């Protein structure tokens, strides 16, 4: 009998009822004021009051309707109790299933009886076979045994009849037993059904009584709330009616005010018309006033001119008298008083004589006066004519001024605009002159290239003593690990080996990225690795505004007319072979100045060269800016080193008119980056993930105090030849390696097939990187490169498994980030990968050490695959 689908139980329905009660309370607490408060600012005070009153009424009506719907939902919630009765029916069905199971047991017993019947049939078959055998023997026997054989045959036939009889009796017993079992089943079923019916009826009655009581109580509570709300609404309606009456009175006052405003507006209109009329007469008044004032000015001008002539004549007379007095003073100079008096009396006598002569000649005086007045009249007449002409000119000028006043204003504005444009053009001319002078200085300085190369020639690192390495690669790593512990910082040994191996595979993965919880030693690991391993080290703090390779190497400063290199560029020049610079000199062989500058540059660099050492660059917080913007070109060229015998270089722009400076990318320079994941950082693209190894640092299981720092002497510098020998020791072509790596290749192909479903398929580069990483792992090399007598297959398998696990973490797990961990993607991708890595039943997988991290990546609140742990590193060998 099919089992019904389970319904929600009573406790669930109680929770629903409680939620409905909370909604009712929330509806009770909710104030209508919240719904219209935002509209007040857009209305006048009276409109707002009227609108608010209407909105309050609507809100109250909606609130009552909501509460009625809430009560209705509560009543509908009681249907859950009936669902509980359905659950009881399901229990009865389960009992029926139990009875069916017992019936199945009976059928099993019937099957056993059928088995016994089969055994009897088998025995019958055996008897028939024996009978045929006896008949055969009778045929072949001698005549004297015929009677004996017949007797034996009769006995066998008699035995067969007895067996048939027993079988018939067993069948009768079987039928009787089945009938007895059927009657017992029916009796048990009837008794159990009656008991269940009684229990269901009793439970139904109790539940219905309790539900009805609870429903009545809720309905009563709801009615009380509704009653209270209605009383409150009535009170508010009364207040609103009072407010409405006040608003009506205010509205009447506003209408009265509006009437007064209309009257005032009409008066203003009349006033404006009068002003307009007066304005039209002002022009005539101005003209008359100008005429009057011009006449007064003309009259005053004439009077002033006459006064001027009179004063001028008096001034001439005074000057003549002054000259006469001065002449007399000069003549009296050195004379005595008696002589002066005698001269004065003589002069008086002469004056009297002259006066008498004048009196005797009146006609000549009159004639002279007439002549003077005639000349003066002519002069005045000429002035009058000239003044009339000037008056006419002034009248014309006045009319022209009155006609062109607006034109003068327009011209004045145009003049101001033209002046501003002239000033702007003058500033632009000065700016362009400065630019022209700057560019002229760029092309006219013959020693510019030498000056820009001088900023690069200064060495950044001081050359240190080289070490003589007599220890193996694993001993060298263990020494670094020991020195780190003595310095107060302990690194996981497997993590250190993994970091070292990632650097060895820089041809396949040029950059090693360290990720994990902040403060776990991501920046300290490469620093201490270099300090105690004898490798030159530089840390560069990436800034959020890095957007080009110039952020790494430097830029040309056009203001100071010089190239500003970074410390990274100075250091990389020390580790370059200068082959590219020689090629550049050959390219510009026709320009002796450039060849000379490059030759001097190479000779200055010879003393500080560090080409026989190793150099690690740490890009700290490398994902604060987009890595692709400032490091994309570097990644592409670093990858090209693997497949090219030519020098791979980056061209540094030294400024306009200068050849590009070729910076070689040698294999003795290795790149490391650290990254955090928060709201200030950028995620890494597939280009960076495919060309890098991503190492995750484990979270600390317990916090360790560091009360003091112990200073450990730095190691001597590791020769590049020693590093190259470790690279040459890889076991990628060893038979012990190739025979074991094949299963990992097949497994990764299966993983790649599953990843294709999610659109994250892997390329050849990933497998080649994993294969190279495994072949260069120090533990794998140590396990494979031993004598046949000392070779341990188990140790070798464990070392290769651990190396493969680390390579998966570096290259594959970051590609799964963001894949959904449910639905079809989980079945077709995640589950298949899990089956390959950990086996069908959690055993016999290719990477069992990653199981805890894999499960952690799947189980998160985002329901996507996020690889953010490193539990596989927490167990040391």
DSSP per-residue letters across 682-702: -PPPHHHHHTEEEEEEPPPSS
pLDDT in the model for residue 287? 65
Confidence (pLDDT) at 10:
47
Highest mean pLDDT among 191-200, 202-211, 637-646: 637-646
Is the model's pLDDT at 38 over the cut of 70?
A: no
pLDDT of residue 744: 92
From 62-66, 236-240, 313-317, the region with the lowest mean pLDDT = 236-240
Alpha-carbon distance of 521 to 516, in angstroms, equals: 9
Joined together, the tokens standing for residue 337 give 């008083």
- The predicted structure's pLDDT at residue 30: 42
Q: What is the pLDDT of residue 35?
A: 47
Q: What is the DSSP letter of 654?
A: -
Window from 103-117, 139-153, 369-383 with minimum mean pLDDT? 139-153
pLDDT of residue 504: 92
Q: 166-170, 480-484, 611-615 — which is least confidently predicted? A: 166-170
Q: How confident is the model at residue 51 (pLDDT cuts 50, 70, 90)?
A: low
pLDDT at 464: 87
Which pLDDT score, from 0 to 100, does residue 877 have? 43
Quickly state the pLDDT bin for 7 (edges 50, 70, 90): very low
State yes or no: pLDDT of 527 exceeds 90.
yes
**Among 757, 709, 771, CA closest to 531:** 709
Inter-CA distances, 397 with 384, 388, 392, 402, 404, Å: 20, 14, 9, 8, 10
pLDDT score recorded for residue 85: 63
Point out which residues pair with 536 in neighbouring strands: 615
Q: Looking at residues 736-744, what average pLDDT do you find?
A: 91
Residue 520 in tokens? 């776990």
Distances (CA, A) of 386 to 299, 306, 352, 366, 637: 14, 15, 45, 30, 96
Q: What is the pLDDT of residue 247?
A: 66
State how beta strands 649-652 and 661-664 pair: antiparallel
pLDDT at 265: 62
What is the C-alpha to C-alpha distance for residues 520 and 490, in angstroms, rounded to an integer?
A: 10
Q: What is the DSSP letter of 715?
A: P
Rounded CA gap, 666 and 510, in Å? 12
User: Does residue 61 or residue 549 have the better pLDDT?
Assistant: 549
Q: How far apart are CA 620 and CA 523, in angstroms?
A: 7
Contact present, 616 and 514 (Cβ < 8 Å)? no
Work out the pLDDT band at 771, boundaries 50, 70, 90: very high
pLDDT at 36 over 50: no
Cα 655 to chain centroid distance, Å, stands at: 34
Going from the C-alpha of 870 to that of each of 478, 748, 849, 853, the distances in angstroms are 21, 21, 10, 6
* Alpha carbons 407 and 400: distance in angstroms, whole number: 11
pTM, full prediction: 0.51
Q: Could you tell me which of 526, 527, 501 has the C-alpha nearest to residue 514?
A: 526
The answer on pLDDT for 197 being more than 60 is yes
User: Which tops the pLDDT comparison, 708 or 745?
Assistant: 745
Selection from 1, 80, 64, 6 nearest residue 30 by Cα: 64
- Between 8 and 571, residue with greater pLDDT: 571
Enumerate residues 6+ apart whose C-beta is below 8 A from 58.
none
Residue 263 predicted with pLDDT over 70: no
Percent of the residues in the chain that have a pLDDT greater than 90, as a whole number = 15
What sign does the CA torsion over 352, 358, 361, 362 have?
A: negative
Tally of CA atoms within 13 A in the half-sphere of 30 that contains its CB: 17
Number of other CB atoms surrounding residue 697 within 10 Å: 22
Neighbours of 793 (CB within 10 A): 10
| Residue 828 DSSP one-character state | I
Inform me whether the pLDDT recorded for 117 exceeds 50: yes
d(CA 298, CA 848): 120
Out of 189-198, 485-494, 584-593, the most confident range is 485-494
pLDDT tens-place string over residues 499-508? 999 999 988 8
Tens of pLDDT along 433-452?
777 766 655 554 445 666 67
Check whether 327 has a pLDDT greater than 80.
no
**Residue 290: exposure state from Cβ atoms within 10 A (0-12, 13-18, ≥19):** middle
> Measuring CA to CA, which residue among 750, 549, 728, 545 is closest to residue 635?
549
Could you identify the residue written with the tokens 């709201």? 679
Mean pLDDT throughout 615-629? 91
Residue 6 pLDDT class (50, 70, 90 cuts): very low
Question: In percent, how much of the chain has pLDDT > 70?
Answer: 68
Q: How much is the pLDDT for 417?
A: 87
> pLDDT at residue 456 above 80?
no
Give pLDDT tens digits for 795-828. Answer: 999 999 999 999 999 989 988 888 888 888 888 9
Mean pLDDT of the chain: 76
Q: Report whether pLDDT(596) > 80.
A: no
List the one residue out of 11, 14, 27, 15 whose CA is nearest residue 87.
11
The pLDDT of residue 614? 93
What does the alpha-carbon distance between residue 228 and residue 230 come to, in Å, rounded to a whole number?
5
Query: What does the pLDDT read at residue 753?
Result: 92
Q: Which of 174-178, 278-282, 445-449 has the lowest mean pLDDT?
A: 445-449
Distance CA 774, CA 780 (A): 7
pLDDT of residue 444: 44
Q: Round to whole Å and give the CA distance between 501 and 729.
A: 12
């Amino acid at each position: 009998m099919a089992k019904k689908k389970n319904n929600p139980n009573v406790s669930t329905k109680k929770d629903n009822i409680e939620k409905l009660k909370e909604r009712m309370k929330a509806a009770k607490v909710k104030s209508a004021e919240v719904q219209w408060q935002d509209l007040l600012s857009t209305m006048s005070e009276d409109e707002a009051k009227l609108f608010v009153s209407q909105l309050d009424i609507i809100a109250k009506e909606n609130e009552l309707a909501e509460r009625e719907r809430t009560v209705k939902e509560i009543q509908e919630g009681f249907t859950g109790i009936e669902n509980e009765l359905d659950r009881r029916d399901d229990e009865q069905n389960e009992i029926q299933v139990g009875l069916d199971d017992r019936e199945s047991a009976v059928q099993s017993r019937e099957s056993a009886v059928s088995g016994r019947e089969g055994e009897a049939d088998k025995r019958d078959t055996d008897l028939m076979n024996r009978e045929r055998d006896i008949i055969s023997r009778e045929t072949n026997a001698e005549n004297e045994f015929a009677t004996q054989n017949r007797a034996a045959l009769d006995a066998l036939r008699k035995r067969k009849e007895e067996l048939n009889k027993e079988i018939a009796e067993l069948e009768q017993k079987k039928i009787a037993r089945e009938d007895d079992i059927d009657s017992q089943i029916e009796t048990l079923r009837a008794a159990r059904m009656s008991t269940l019916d009684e229990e269901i009826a009793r439970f139904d009655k109790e539940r219905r009584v309790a539900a009805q009581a609870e429903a009545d109580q809720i309905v009563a509570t709801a009615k009380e709330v509704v009653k209270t709300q209605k009383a409150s609404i009535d009170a508010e309606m009364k207040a609103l009616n009072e407010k409405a009456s006040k608003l009506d009175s205010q509205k009447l006052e506003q209408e009265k005010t509006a009437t007064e405003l209309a009257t005032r507006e009409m008066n203003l209109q009349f006033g404006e018309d009068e002003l307009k009329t007066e304005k039209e007469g002002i022009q005539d008044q101005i003209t008359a006033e100008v005429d009057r004032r011009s006449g007064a000015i003309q009259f005053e001008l004439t009077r002033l001119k006459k006064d001027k002539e009179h004063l001028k004549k008096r001034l001439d007379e005074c000057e003549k008298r002054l000259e006469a007095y001065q002449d007399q003073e000069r003549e009296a100079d050195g004379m005595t008083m008696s002589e002066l008096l005698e001269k004065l009396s003589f002069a008086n006598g002469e004056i009297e004589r002259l006066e008498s002569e004048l009196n005797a000649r009146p006609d000549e005086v009159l004639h002279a006066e007439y002549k003077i007045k005639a000349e003066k009249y002519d002069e005045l007449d000429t002035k009058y004519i000239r003044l009339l002409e000037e008056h006419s000119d002034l009248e014309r000028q006045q009319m022209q001024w009155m006609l062109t006043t607006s034109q003068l204003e327009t011209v004045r504005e145009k003049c101001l605009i033209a002046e501003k444009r002239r000033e702007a053009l003058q500033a632009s001319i000065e700016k362009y002159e400065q630019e022209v002078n700057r560019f002229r200085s760029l092309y006219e300085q013959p020693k510019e290239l030498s000056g820009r190369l001088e900023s690069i020639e200064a060495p950044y690192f001081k050359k240190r003593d080289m070490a003589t390495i007599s220890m193996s690669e694993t001993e060298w790593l263990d020494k670094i690990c020991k020195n780190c512990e003595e310095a107060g910082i302990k690194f996981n040994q497997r993590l250190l080996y993994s970091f070292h191996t990632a650097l060895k595979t820089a041809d396949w993965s040029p950059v090693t990225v360290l990720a994990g919880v902040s403060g776990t030693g991501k920046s300290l690991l490469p620093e201490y690795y270099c300090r105690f391993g004898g490798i030159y080290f530089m840390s560069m703090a990436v800034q959020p505004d890095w957007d080009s390779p110039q952020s790494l190497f430097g830029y040309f400063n056009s203001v100071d007319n010089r190239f500003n290199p970074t410390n990274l560029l100075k250091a990389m020049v020390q580790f370059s072979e200068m082959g590219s610079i020689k090629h550049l000199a050959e390219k510009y062989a026709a320009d002796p100045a450039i060849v000379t500058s490059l030759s001097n540059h190479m000779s200055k660099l010879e003393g500080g060269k560090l080409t026989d050492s190793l150099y690690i660059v740490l890009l700290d917080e490398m994902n604060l800016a987009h890595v692709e913007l400032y490091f994309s070109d570097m990644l592409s060229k670093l990858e090209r080193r693997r497949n090219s015998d030519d020098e791979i270089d980056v061209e540094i722009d030294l400024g306009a008119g200068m050849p590009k400076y070729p910076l070689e990318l040698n294999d003795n320079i290795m790149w490391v980056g650290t990254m955090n994941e928060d709201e200030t950082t950028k995620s890494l693209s597939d280009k960076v993930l495919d060309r890098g190894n991503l190492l995750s640092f484990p979270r600390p299981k317990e916090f360790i105090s560091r009360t003091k720092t112990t200073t450990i002497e730095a190691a001597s510098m590791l020769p590049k030849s020693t590093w190259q020998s470790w690279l040459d020791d890889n076991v990628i072509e060893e038979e012990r390696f190739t025979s074991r790596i094949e299963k990992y290749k097949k497994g990764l192909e299966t993983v790649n097939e599953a990843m294709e479903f999610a659109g994250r398929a892997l390329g050849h580069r990933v497998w080649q990187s994993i294969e190279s990483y495994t072949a260069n792992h120090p533990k794998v090399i140590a396990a494979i490169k031993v004598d046949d007598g000392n070779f341990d297959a188990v140790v070798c398998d464990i070392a290769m498994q651990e190396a493969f696990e680390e390579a998966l973490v570096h290259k594959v797990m970051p590609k799964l980030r963001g894949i959904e961990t449910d639905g079809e993607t989980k079945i077709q991708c995640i589950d298949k990968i899990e089956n390959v890595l950990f086996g069908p039943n959690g055993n016999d997988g290719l990477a069992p050490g990653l199981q805890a991290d894999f499960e952690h990546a799947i189980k998160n609140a985002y329901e996507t695959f996020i690889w953010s742990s490193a539990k596989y590193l927490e167990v040391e060998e």
